Structure 1
């Protein structure tokens, strides 16, 4: 019987995938995800929760600047604080307050997150833009140290979208992810941020996050952080200023994390039929019309 991970690999993904509690994960981190529930956190830990390609690098850098109280880039890439990728020993070395990022569902997170009442910032983005951005990254990346000289995904855009909207992709369905985090937000006080709102008025969203974290800053600092974390400035910093220790290495010519950083590019990719089908799935899964 085919599992979600097997369907994903048969559909064009070239890296090993394993199902963990019904969700396809990279085999590389499967054991960590399985044992994550028992991981010990600190009560001042901050979690940035996003589905892939929803502005993770952007928001993680902003949160670090809020905690630092100034528009100064972190030394390392965000992968240094990836909850499900780094070992517990590696994360223990980080100074408090630690700012983790994760793509996991609420039920996959450490139980101590809820027991300690850790601060949570949840960012979501138009799922059609997420799909396009994911396809462009996965179909343009080759691991530098990989054993296969293949891109992460070798199928067509149509192949990818079919897998994506059915949840046969790393970290599972974006619809399930959105549904579960929306339900969590109804029960707990978390900071919900929309990617498109950050594009319209980043300083305002930075202020909201700072107030949620009980770390209000001068108005000029919000503006300075927004400018430092603009797409072009943050891309330059990540590629040219930051320590590259935790930067995943790809073969020359492969795509990196930063592509366009814009909203609405999905209109250049989705056919009318694809758009209509996606909207129907969204409405069926989330019980409301597609909002974008």
Structure 2
């Protein structure tokens, strides 16, 4: 009997996928997920929770600078703090306060987060833009197997179909957004802030200030402006390519722009056909009409 993971691979994924509980996940992280709920956390841990390609790098770097109190890039890039793929020992070596990021749903995360009432930040983006950016990543990234073959070798139409069905790594962006939107209701005692990619594009200084105040690290307004400037798309891309330690970089196909493609909003209109967009919208509405999803 086929699973959504196997169907995803039939659609064009060379990246190995498998089911974890009822979700499609990259096989390479499943051994981490099996112990995730019982992992220990620290009281001052900060969790950045996103669907892939929704502004993770951006917000993680902003928070790193806010905690440092100055517009200085962290030595390592954000994958050094990836909860889903780093061992507990690797994460234990990070100094406090740790800024950890994850693409997991709330129900898969360490229970200690809720008990210790850690600060949780959810970053969201227009889901169609996230799909486009994820497609470009998967067709250019070698991922964990280090081979020269891209993680996804199918067509854009194949990818949209797989995404709508949730047959992709980290499952459906629609269910992911729904679960995180419900987070304040499910965990009312946990400090929670939701940030939107589009708001960061519109007024990054204001969003930097919101983030700083949320984690109780207020700074002079001038420093907010400096951090926002240092974390602009072009400067952050340059830092990741030429300044930061490259230890935790994944493999990319030659000529790829890597994690930093355009950093724009609305590019989905150049990719989705009218029929694909309408189908996506129908599934979006159907997903949000099912209040029993968790």
User: TM-score per shorter chain, which class?
Assistant: over 0.9
Unaligned runs of 5+ in 1: none
Deviation of the 1:144 alpha carbon: 8.9
- 1:150: which partner in 2? 149
Give the Cα separation in 1 of the matches to 2:22 and 2:102: 18
2:271 pairs with 269, 272, 276, which one? 269
Counterpart mapping for 1:44-193 below 5 A: 44-143=44-143, 146-147=146-147, 149-186=148-185, 187-188=187-188, 189-193=191-195
- Which 4+ residue blocks in structure 1 deviate beyond 6 angstroms? none
Provide the secondary structure at the position in 2 that maps to 1:100: strand
Q: With structure 1 as the length reference, what TM-score do the two structures score?
A: 0.95
- Contact residue 137 and residue 255 of structure 1 kept, 8 A: no
Counterpart mapping for 1:161-240 below 5 A: 161-186=160-185, 187-188=187-188, 189-240=191-242
Deviation of the 1:244 alpha carbon: 0.7
Deviation of the 1:146 alpha carbon: 2.4
Q: With structure 2 as the length reference, what TM-score do the two structures score?
A: 0.95
Give the Cα separation in 2 of the matches to 1:118 and 1:127: 27
- Contact residue 142 and residue 254 of structure 1 kept, 8 A: no
Deviations 1:32-72 (A, max 9, x none): 01110010000100000000000101110001111111111
Deviations 1:107-138 (A, max 9, x none): 00001010100101100000000000011111
Deviation of the 1:234 alpha carbon: 0.1
Unaligned runs of 5+ in 2: none
Does residue 1:10 correspond to 2:14, yes or no?
Answer: no
Distance 1:93 1:144, change over 3 A: closer
Give the Cα separation in 1 of the matches to 2:137 and 2:210: 30
- 2:243: which partner in 1? 241
Deviation of the 1:255 alpha carbon: 4.2
- How many pairs are equivalent? 287
- 1:35: which partner in 2? 35
Provide the secondary structure at the position in 2 that maps to 1:25: strand
Give the Cα separation in 2 of the matches to 1:108 and 1:225: 32
Deviation of the 1:252 alpha carbon: 2.4
Give the Cα separation in 1 of the matches to 2:94 and 2:210: 25
Q: CA RMSD in A?
A: 1.4
